[in-house]
Amino acid sequence: MKTSSLWGVFVFLAFSALIIPSYSQDQPSDHDHDEQLKTFIVFVSKSDKPSVFSSHLHWYSATLQSLPPSPISSSSSDHHDGSPSREVMYSYDHVAHGFAARLTPSQASHLENLPGILSVIPDSFVEPHTTHSPQFLGLNYGYGLWPNSSYGEDVIIGVFDGGIWPEHQSFNDFGLTPVPKRWKGTCQTGPDFPPCNRKLIGAQAFYKGIEAHLGHRFDADGSKDSRSPRDTSGHGTHCAATAAGSPVMNAGFHNDSVGEAKGVATKARIAAYKVMWKGGAVTSDSLAGYEQVVKDGVDVMSISLGHGYGTPYHRSPIAIGTFGATEKGIVVSLAAGNNGAKGPKTVGNSAPWMLTVGGSTIDRESRADVILGDGQVIPGSLSPTQVAGKIVVCNADLKNPAVKKASVAKAARGVGMIHVQTIDQFEALGARNYPIPATAVTKSSGLKIITYITSNRKDDKKPTPKIDFRGTVTGSSFLSPAPKVATFSSTGPNPLIPEILKPDVIAPGVNILAARSGSDAEFVMKSGTSMACPHVRGLAALLRNAFPKWSPAAIKLALMTTAYIVDNSGKYITVINNTGGDNGKFSTPFQHGSGHVDPNKALNPGLVYDITPSDYEAFLCTIGYNKKQMKLFVKDRNVDCDSVGLSTVGDLNYPLFSVVFESAGRSQTGSIREWLRMLEFQQMQFTN
């Protein structure tokens, strides 16, 4: 590959004044109190519908009409007279029973005391949590899971994200058979969204909840976003292509990582459910999407969204909705979250019926070296274009994205940038679509650069750098061992039920090349557990085709029991070390779960644990849920917890678990599986 160099004089820019606006809801003034209209999700006991009502929707509507009036601030965008809209925003009848509506807090409180109402939960925001990764996973055209599953043909994957860019070549339907007859979904066509095809078989948008939250601001965002399923952020397109993108030759990111881009399940069908918008994503929209999945006939759900961590299951529409989807036989895969740098107990989406995925590295890097005037070579990661001029050194921070800093540097006539990853959250040295030549370096490398600049300025010398773009390198002989756990990947112990160990597995989530939205760049690299989740979603689709009779739990546990914990150098998997060295600490099951997924071994896992919905019911009884809370999950009948509860939550038939010890007045969580695996690892090392 052709390399190039960029020489220049270091220029320091102050970015403290650069503030990137972030969305925040308008705060009510004191005289408004708390009586502004807000969206609430109302869960009901379906069997308690009064016989006077012809349908559940009739019941819901009449209940809203019967609510007492409440004074509302004139700033409310619902009605000028201060009365609630009295309309059912969404009706839920498959993964949950109930509805969403605009209410004041006092009306919500009144509603919660009515017969048949189980719970009233405020709508809340949720966070959004490739050419080489299939090869790194061991997927092969000649043997193993790919040919044995027919590449996931006819399996339908529902992607819950920011929509999709339908024209992208990763969603071409060349060589695919007709759309499966069991598909009942729709494709919301319109002025900016064309008809679907045999690959992208469905696309729908859900925005009533976010529109209610933002009011007129959603209309303002509409100039940038689209109320159609079209993806304008790129997140949903990237995730969909990673899971099930069609093969595309000569794909790359600015001439780096060039090869055949393809998803994990190349022949699976994609149904895009747009629940994430420029203004955010809310639970009422997401739950409406889960409802639709059951009606449409989806086999696998992928959700790269979450509350963060610590939300009790009975207060989480995501946990309630995914329980309902699992009951219907749908495999549900969710991202673990990107809060790993904050420490332990940060893993989200931690219910046992969820397949929770953390992020890891692969054995590929896009290299660029920073060569200082005194001969020091500082390795960095990828950069795109090349121009001549001065180079700017910038420190990472939480407010200002690296690409935005590069744009400001360019506007100030700086035409190169070295981005120092001073924050642990960004240790992955992610590839980005910079507007000028740039490279990212670790904190320790950044300190060397600063020391070099400072010492040269004291001697009245001009510090000079060179950025040498080396292109893409793969293989353990060139790189540090892989996989490693990404520091951003959220970790256990499980903040709610420490005996159920989370995350379940890790998968490639750092610098993943896949499709992007828009026409200016066909492919892009992204990092996060949102990128790891689609890999496992695709593997679940392959296993669904290979073993049609397997339950969602069997598919999940086959991936867990065959995962590995040794990297490609033969050593125990470590965590990315932000200092830039290769002496990272060993990861633990609280970081890697069962380990890194191994698709071909999952094809023949040997012993497969299975968990039925009734086992999850027993689990919920054991953690202390009462009859009313149980009906949020088990919707059509009563559960007698006295007869179905487990002795302890650890008795759930789960292949990965922790034991909570009481020591000196404190609880300590340890993993029996970890101890056994460490002994196995030490024995292997001794034998070798």
Active-site positions read 161, 235, 530
Give alpha helix (H) positions in 187-273. 208-214, 216-221, 235-244
In this structure, are residues 200 and 171 in contact, taking their beta carbons and an 8 Å threshold?
yes
Coil vs helix vs strand at 435: coil
Coil vs helix vs strand at 630: helix
Spell out where 50-110 has E strands.
88-92, 98-103
In this structure, are residues 392 and 417 in contact, taking their beta carbons and an 8 Å threshold?
yes
Coil vs helix vs strand at 22: coil
Q: What is the DSSP letter of 275?
A: -
In this structure, are residues 134 and 485 in contact, taking their beta carbons and an 8 Å threshold?
no
The set of residues, in sequence order, having a beta carbon less than 8 Å from that of 262 and lying 6+ positions away, is 131, 134, 245, 246, 247, 248
Nearest to 72, CA basis, from 102, 41, 104: 104
Q: Which residues of 135-147 are buried (b: 16+ CB within 10 A; e: fewer)?
A: bbbebeeeebbbe
Q: What share of the chain is helix, strand, coil (3-state, %, to 5)?
A: 30, 25, 50
In this structure, are residues 405 and 434 in contact, taking their beta carbons and an 8 Å threshold?
no
- Termini Cα distance of the chain: 38
Nearest to 349, CA basis, from 339, 368, 336, 359: 336
In this structure, are residues 97 and 116 in contact, taking their beta carbons and an 8 Å threshold?
no
CA distance 8 to 391: 6
